[in-house]
A and B are shown apart, each in its own frame.
Chain A
């Protein structure tokens, strides 16, 4: 095979307008997922949970492949797996060290279960592969309504607990002193995270959830410390990677995920470079001398 043959497989924009009409649903799904993933990722980063996300997505994969094998609703199976994992990690792992070991134990088990179920499954192999690496081009209308409903729940939940959750995520000790129910918020967040991961697994696949639920905020946090800007940038990055990935993948024979992850990763690289530059050249406006207490200066 020649080099240009490979290139045609990766990027092929022939018949683009016709194809675009076919992926109308997928584009909506991608945009919604981007918004939810971008928002959730800010808390995943603040609470140091990327590893947990990976584990939840693998349990979600096990649930989905189990459902595929049993011939029941794949979405329900995926939800069951991810919420179970999220609740277990949330309940057992309050300290970072505990949490990491529980995650390390759960993750291979989830993946192993998933592989077992898929090996037993005799149906279309595209279904199998899709759970791991994504299948956005095939989003149908019932799937889309499910996605919209779940997103609405996650967005409402986040809006309700946003402020105390931020407080508890960045300064749990002081938040508790101010009466914030730190433990209950942690459980609530894990549930919302479980829902988001289950959604993402359907679209980008279990192996690549982190590119939507971790990378956007990780990138945004490199360039700004303003909570509002981090949130906005994170959403823009996530939506950009999702929608951009779908548009690029359209004419190719390759799954959606490499496009999404590559855009997401590129954004992160650029943000790191910008952050590096900022770190060298100062964060704030030029310092003006102000009288401190007892004339204290920096």
Chain B
């Protein structure tokens, strides 16, 4: 079966105990589409990611990655995690990190081969990381590490690129580099992108649609359809002001903490 749909959720629900993170979620992400997943802390963004990765089963509904259940074909999903501190002594060079994305999950010892090396060099060149290919990963800057993470996610040629706050703790220039890399990949290879973030502005130029999670509910639509005062006020059950200024979107009046976001709708 060939399909253009990279990710499909039908009537999907996820609960933690009695708390519903989201339910009745229907979402189709087509090849080459860029979907941003937004929402407060604790709104279920991370659980959404875990469900797509097959690490967390849905409570009901169906989830398909490129037409298959998530655990079936791991290479279909490339995962870019948050930037974290990596100890400078970790015995991995940049090319080894990328290699782990290719075959790190397979049994056995693995042997170097010219084809494997070529593939790693190709993808490192594609993200502009060739010049630090033989550096220990722990000696790179945060922005450089995230480039390597993208190469690692792309090396197995996925149909869906799943990014979990990849811009967190990066400076502006690195943020632009990383988002541009992700965008060029989806344009060049038609890879779908699901980009979990708490900050829409760095990805605003690229986003096709937004999935906004809050307080057990969600909205899906274009940036303008979702990120406006009326929709967010309804979602949070309290007045929220959305301002467009100088090509940026500023959301004012969001509840400060995660627990506020959960309880707000039940009070309203």
Q: Select the stretch in B12-20, B126-134, B189-197, B252-260 that faces chain A.
A: B126-134
Q: Select the stretch in B31-39, B57-65, B87-95, B204-212 that faces chain A.
A: B87-95
Do A163 and B106 touch across chains, with their CB atoms under 8 A apart? yes
Do A293 and B107 touch across chains, with their CB atoms under 8 A apart? no
Q: Select the stretch in B176-184, B220-228, B239-247 that faces chain A.
A: B176-184
Using Cβ atoms and an 8 Å threshold, which residues of chain A touch B71? 179
Do A221 and B79 touch across chains, with their CB atoms under 8 A apart? no
In Å, the complex CA distance between A202 and B256 comes to: 59
In Å, the complex CA distance between A221 and B137 comes to: 13
The verdict on B100 contacting chain A, using a C-beta distance below 8 Å, is: yes
* Given A284-B132, A291-B128, A293-B184, A176 contacting B96 (CB threshold 8 A): no
Of residues 131 through 174 on chain B, the ones whose CB sits less than 8 Å from some CB of chain A are 131-132, 134-137, 139, 141, 143-144, 152, 173-174
In Å, the complex CA distance between A160 and B104 comes to: 13
Using Cβ atoms and an 8 Å threshold, which residues of chain B touch A22? none
Interface residue tally for chain B (C-beta within 8 Å): 47
Min CB distance A183 to B, Å, is 12
- Cβ-Cβ contact count across A and B, 8 Å cutoff: 115
Q: Select the stretch in A24-32, A75-83, A103-111, A223-231 that faces chain B.
A: A223-231
Of residues 80 through 122 on chain A, the ones whose CB sits less than 8 Å from some CB of chain B are none
In Å, the complex CA distance between A286 and B59 comes to: 54
Do B128 and A174 touch across chains, with their CB atoms under 8 A apart? no
Min CB distance B14 to A, Å, is 17
Min CB distance B32 to A, Å, is 19
Do A167 and B104 touch across chains, with their CB atoms under 8 A apart? yes
Do B92 and A164 touch across chains, with their CB atoms under 8 A apart? no
Using Cβ atoms and an 8 Å threshold, which residues of chain B touch A292? 128, 177
A interface, by DSSP: helix, strand, loop or mixed?
helix
Using Cβ atoms and an 8 Å threshold, which residues of chain A touch B108? 159-160, 162-163
Using Cβ atoms and an 8 Å threshold, which residues of chain A touch B81? 173-174, 177
Using Cβ atoms and an 8 Å threshold, which residues of chain A touch B55? 176-177
The verdict on A170 contacting chain B, using a C-beta distance below 8 Å, is: yes
Do B184 and A161 touch across chains, with their CB atoms under 8 A apart? no
* Given A180-B105, A225-B93, A298 contacting B141 (CB threshold 8 A): yes
* Given A174-B100, A296-B177, A227 contacting B92 (CB threshold 8 A): yes
Taken residue by residue from 65 to 98, chain B's Cβ proximity to chain A (1 for < 8 Å, 0 otherwise) reads as 0000001001001010100000001111100110
The verdict on B103 contacting chain A, using a C-beta distance below 8 Å, is: yes
For chain A, give the interface size range.
35 or more
Do A225 and B92 touch across chains, with their CB atoms under 8 A apart? yes
* Given A178-B79, A224-B91, A290 contacting B130 (CB threshold 8 A): yes
Of residues 170 through 227 on chain A, the ones whose CB sits less than 8 Å from some CB of chain B are 170-171, 173-180, 220-222, 224-227
Do A298 and B144 touch across chains, with their CB atoms under 8 A apart? yes
Do B139 and A178 touch across chains, with their CB atoms under 8 A apart? no
Taken residue by residue from 263 to 298, chain A's Cβ proximity to chain B (1 for < 8 Å, 0 otherwise) reads as 000000000000000000001110111111110101
* Given A293-B128, A296-B173, A177 contacting B53 (CB threshold 8 A): yes
The verdict on B188 contacting chain A, using a C-beta distance below 8 Å, is: no
Do A159 and B92 touch across chains, with their CB atoms under 8 A apart? no
Closest to B82 in A: A173
Do A283 and B144 touch across chains, with their CB atoms under 8 A apart? no
Closest to B132 in A: A284
* Given A227-B96, A298-B141, A174 contacting B91 (CB threshold 8 A): no
Mind listing 8 A-B residue pairs with CB under 8 Å?
A163-B103, A178-B105, A179-B71, A224-B91, A227-B96, A283-B134, A293-B184, A296-B174
Known contacts A42-B91, A163-B103, A296-B143, then 20 further A-B pairs from the complex at CB < 8 Å, ordered by chain A residue: A159-B108, A162-B108, A164-B104, A164-B107, A167-B105, A171-B100, A175-B104, A176-B55, A177-B81, A178-B104, A224-B91, A225-B91, A225-B93, A226-B91, A230-B91, A283-B134, A283-B136, A288-B131, A290-B130, A294-B180
A residues sitting closer than 8 Å to B (CB atoms) are 42, 45-46, 159-164, 166-167, 170-171, 173-180, 220-222, 224-228, 230, 283-285, 287-294, 296, 298
